[in-house]
Amino acid sequence: MPVTKEQIARFEAACRTHGLKITQQRLEIYRTLHQSTSHPSAEALYRQLVRLMPTLSLDTVYRTLATFEELGLVKRVETTGNQSRFEARTEQHHHFFCDNCGQLLDFTWPTFDSMPLPDELEQMGQIREKNLVLHGLCSRCLAGKNNNKQNTGP
């Protein structure tokens, strides 16, 4: 997914609004995450980025992702693993997690998104977001092409 001018503009606007400097590191981290469809971990993102920016450090990636998360530019994905994974996609969507290879796939389900929630939830609090996480085996693992290689991004 290429990054559009609009998305870069949105990123720059978000930085300016919050008094953040637009640094090379921030720009590249945002751009790379936006182009990725693999929901990479901070580590995976770092491995990819350090090839372009050899002086980049892993803790800058962590710090930057945390900052972006606060601004709402980036989201942390719901997982059962012990490494956080991130995405920059902002349209409403859901995830399918392959229990064999660890791959995360996006899908949309507008019918579900517009369904009213059960009444039981009214008493529980105020809902802001609903995320669906499916578990199973991706088609590649079903075909036996992956030997349990855990995958948290490039």
Partner DNA sequence: TTAACTGCAAAACATTTGCACAACC
Partner DNA sequence: GGTTGTGCAAATGTTTTGCAGTTAA
User: Does 141 show up as a binding residue in the annotation?
Assistant: yes
Report what 63 binds from its own copies, DNA, none; CB cut-off 5-8 Å by kind: DNA
Find the Cα–Cα–Cα–Cα dihedral 14, 74, 65, 8, rounded to 10°: -50
Match 């660890």 to its residue by tokens.
102
Out of 8, 14, 53, 105, the only residue in the binding site for DNA (CB under 7 A) is 53
Give residues 56-85 in contact with its own copies (rule: CB under 8 A). 76-80, 82, 84
| Candidate ranges 14-22, 25-33, 135-143, 145-153; the one touching its own copies (CB under 8 A) | 135-143
Q: Please tell me whether residue 55 binds DNA under the rule CB under 7 A.
A: yes
Find the Cα–Cα–Cα–Cα dihedral 12, 66, 108, 9, rounded to 10°: 0
User: Does 15 show up as a binding residue in the annotation?
Assistant: no
Q: Please tell me whether residue 13 binds DNA under the rule CB under 7 A.
A: no
Q: Please tell me whether residue 63 binds DNA under the rule CB under 7 A.
A: yes
Contact 30, 88 (CB under 8 A): yes
The site map against its own copies for 112-131 (x = CB under 8 A) is x--x-xx-xx-xxxxxxxxx
The identity of residue 105, as a single letter, is L
Angstrom distance (rounded) from CA 61 to CA 23: 12
Handedness of CA 64, 66, 70, 73 (dihedral sign): positive
The identity of residue 42, as a single letter, is A
The contact set with its own copies (CB under 8 A) reads: 76-80, 82, 84, 96, 98-99, 105, 107-109, 111-112, 115, 117-118, 120-121, 123-142
